[in-house]
Structure 1
Amino acid sequence: MTDISTGDHGTTPSQEQLARGEELVLEPELPIIDPHHHLWATPARYLLDELLADTGSGHNIRATVYLQCRSMYRQDGPPELASLGETEFVNGVAAMSASGLYGNTRHCAGIVGYVDLSLGGRASTVLEAHLRAANGRLRGIRNSSAWHRDPSIRPMPYVAPKEMLLNPKFREGFAHLAPLGLSFDVWTWWTQLSELVDLADQFETTSIVLDHFGGIVGVGEHDGKLAHDFPLWRSAIREVARRPNITVKLGGLAMQTAGFKLSERSTPASSEQLEDLWRPYFDVCIEAFGPQRCMFESNFPVDKAGGVSYRTLWNAFKRLAAGAGTEEKAALFFDTAARVYRLNVKPI
């Protein structure tokens, strides 16, 4: 089984290209937990060295959370255990970071791995194997449920089953998460959010994290329709927010699939320009969920393919949160992630 990581996210720009639009760091002392990034060797290398370069580029990144991306799967053994390779790999990176030899940031302090929950009752044994492999760092599981009737809209190289979140077998496996103290990250399109509402209502004690502003899509049949789709997305996200067991990650809008066409610009977008583009989505989520159920995410290196550097991305987030009070800002950048992913990390 080969590594599968980014899908059709475009070509990652070089450091030299990103440096052309580099900015001074805003609020460099503000403590940050980055609750969503990946690591992989192919198709474009993004391993600890590259992550260190980004998290060390000026912002006060105190810790990070790794999100599954089908990296470093085992080549041998039962297929349902192949993803253990990813958890083992990331736990090794976390152990390296915890040594302190790579700075004060605790990289991969939390791990969100992959277990096929459609295994139903058999998922329990696999989940327990991941808990052992992560050495206390496993915080949750993610299964991509992003499916669209337009076959050209694919966030990853594989296609999730239609209505996966409603599937009884998937829910049989999902039922094992809360008893094991695990949360569930959701990568889906906004057009599918009614399925997430149904899932959250059935499993009210399971912590659910909705990735990427709820799955903004601006490609395929949605190309050029962001303004048209906005009120539909807003209505769907407000319904999701009524479920207290759901939090939302604010990020992922530099992806090609989001439709802002950032990679097509002759020069990288500035943090001011990103703020202007993303402000409507941020305002809706803050109003609907409140800062205590929102957290900014880098989604690196996927969002890097949009021509946005790590420094500029977090500057944009700081501009979006400029009007927030001290406690609200702390929630958005640190406290929500620390609570949801149960990270024992100090802000200073």
Structure 2
Amino acid sequence: MSSAATPGAWSPHAPIREDWLAQDREEVLFAELPIIDAHHHLFGMPGKHYDNADFLHDIKQHNVVATVFMQCKTNYKSDGEPVFRSIGEIEFARQQRIESLERGSKTDICAAIVGHFDLSLGDAVAPVLEAGIVAGGGLLRGVRNIVAWHDGMRISTSSPLHAGRLADANFRRGFGHLSRMGLSFDTWLVHPQIPELCDLAHEYPDTVIVLNHLGGPLRIGPYLGKDDEVFRTWRTNLAELATCPNVYIKLGGFGMPLLGFEFHRQPKPPTSLQIADAIRPYTDACIDLFGAQRCMFESNFPVDKGSFSYTTLWNAFKRLTVGAGQYEIASLFSWTAANVYKLAGVLEPAEK
């Protein structure tokens, strides 16, 4: 899979180098532990391809029982009203699930789908959401809007962004339709924006909100060399957000260069021990603030594949939880995701 960044912008993608990854020979740890991968992508476009077969190849060593497909602006419809075109992505993800199950996959990939709908449409988003629910065939669980924006750096994303989107009146009117339709809200933002999400969560306490990628602690650009300052600000902002019981957080996404871990620049792929040591302060802080019952591990594949293999990433997650209680481990690896994305029963054999 490849993607082009906006010229002059910071890209979340590190290039995937299969020859570099081939140096990783790590064996799987605790192979029987059930996993629900709470956040991954699939792509089915020319020049940007990573489908169910590619994904199943990457995950095969771990006991991944189910996955959550996260919108990534792929396979949109090429005609019809523009606001309905993103429904093509939901249909694509649903078809990817069907194909994998027909081949006898032990993993129920795309068991839940989170699609993209422009909530800034306000009340006009309601019929689009309804059409998406129908297209999902019972699999659509939520909506993601990417709002990552910073006035000191340009961040390359799949959506045009501007300051204060979460506070926009039209956006909030659109957001207000989610709860009554049984849909959650995922978002990716960067750490200075966390207070904006906190305000939104307070206004809509009945809507489940999922903050992606550790809440985006930036350690590049204007934050380069300011790790301690960033960590303090990030943790303070998260502490306030964690007081909102409707908010959950995903632990992952640190393979993106934006978060400054630089795994992709090493001469060899990082080991799971190296990854665990690097991210432990961040994951420990999240678990301390939110509790394991509101935290979930995510792969962010194939975006994070530019920095490490799937096997090594989940080995790192397993290392982070050595010594934790059974309830905490189960929550982080599967139960929280099953609760948020309504995947009751996925630890049993999947059915088409």
When normalised by structure 1's length, the TM-score is: 0.94
Q: 1:166-185: CA deviations, max 9, x gaps? A: 00100000000000000000
CA contact (8 A) 2:66 2:346 kept: no
Q: Indicate yes or no: 2:22 matched with 1:19.
A: yes
Alignment CA distance shift 1:157-1:131 (3 Å) = closer
2:27 aligned partner, one-letter code: L
**In 2: Cα distance, 1:22 partner to 1:37 partner:** 23
- Report how far residue 42 of structure 1 moved: 5.1
Aligned residue in 1 for 2:64: 61
Aligned residue in 1 for 2:251: 250
Q: 1:270-328: CA deviations, max 9, x gaps? A: 0000011001001101110000000000000011112x000000000001111210111
Aligned residue in 1 for 2:33: 30
2:340 aligned partner, one-letter code: V
Alignment CA distance shift 1:285-1:54 (3 Å) = same
- Report how far residue 151 of structure 1 moved: 3.2
**In 2: Cα distance, 1:140 partner to 1:268 partner:** 34
- Report how far residue 102 of structure 1 moved: 3.7
**In 2: Cα distance, 1:339 partner to 1:189 partner:** 25
CA contact (8 A) 1:147 1:159 kept: no
Q: Indicate yes or no: 2:157 matched with 1:125.
A: no
- Report how far residue 22 of structure 1 moved: 2.5
Identify which of 63, 70, 74 aligns with 1:71: 74
Q: Indicate yes or no: 2:92 matched with 1:89.
A: yes
CA contact (8 A) 1:12 1:44 kept: no
- Report how far residue 47 of structure 1 moved: 1.0
Q: 1:200-226: CA deviations, max 9, x gaps? A: 000000000010001121222122322
Aligned residue in 2 for 1:327: 327
**In 2: Cα distance, 1:117 partner to 1:97 partner:** 31
Q: Indicate yes or no: 2:130 matched with 1:142.
A: no
CA contact (8 A) 2:119 2:125 kept: yes
Aligned residue in 1 for 2:14: 10
Alignment of 1:204-223 (within 5 A): 204-223=205-224
- Report how far residue 134 of structure 1 moved: 0.5
Aligned residue in 2 for 1:270: 271
**In 2: Cα distance, 1:145 partner to 1:250 partner:** 18
Aligned residue in 2 for 1:310: 310
RMSD of aligned C-alpha atoms? 1.6
CA contact (8 A) 1:90 1:111 kept: yes
CA contact (8 A) 1:5 1:70 kept: no
**In 1: Cα distance, 2:316 partner to 2:132 partner:** 35
Number of equivalenced pairs: 341
Aligned residue in 2 for 1:240: 241
CA contact (8 A) 1:219 1:257 kept: yes
Q: Indicate yes or no: 2:193 matched with 1:189.
A: no
- Report how far residue 346 of structure 1 moved: 3.5
Alignment CA distance shift 1:4-1:138 (3 Å) = farther
**In 1: Cα distance, 2:93 partner to 2:260 partner:** 31
Alignment CA distance shift 1:280-1:200 (3 Å) = same
Partner secondary structure for residue 243 of structure 1: coil
- Structure 1 window deviating more from structure 2 (110-119 vs 35-44): it is 35-44
Q: Indicate yes or no: 2:293 matched with 1:292.
A: yes
Unaligned runs of 5+ in 2: none
Unaligned runs of 5+ in 1: none
CA contact (8 A) 2:52 2:97 kept: no
1:60 aligned partner, one-letter code: N
Partner secondary structure for residue 45 of structure 1: strand
**In 1: Cα distance, 2:20 partner to 2:345 partner:** 34
- Report how far residue 342 of structure 1 moved: 0.2
Aligned residue in 2 for 1:39: 42
CA contact (8 A) 2:97 2:108 kept: yes
Q: Indicate yes or no: 2:339 matched with 1:339.
A: yes
- Report how far residue 158 of structure 1 moved: 3.7
1:203 aligned partner, one-letter code: Y
Alignment CA distance shift 1:82-1:5 (3 Å) = farther
Runs (4+) of structure 1 exceeding 3 A deviation are 3-7, 41-44
**In 1: Cα distance, 2:228 partner to 2:347 partner:** 38
1:280 aligned partner, one-letter code: P
**In 2: Cα distance, 1:75 partner to 1:225 partner:** 44
When normalised by structure 2's length, the TM-score is: 0.93
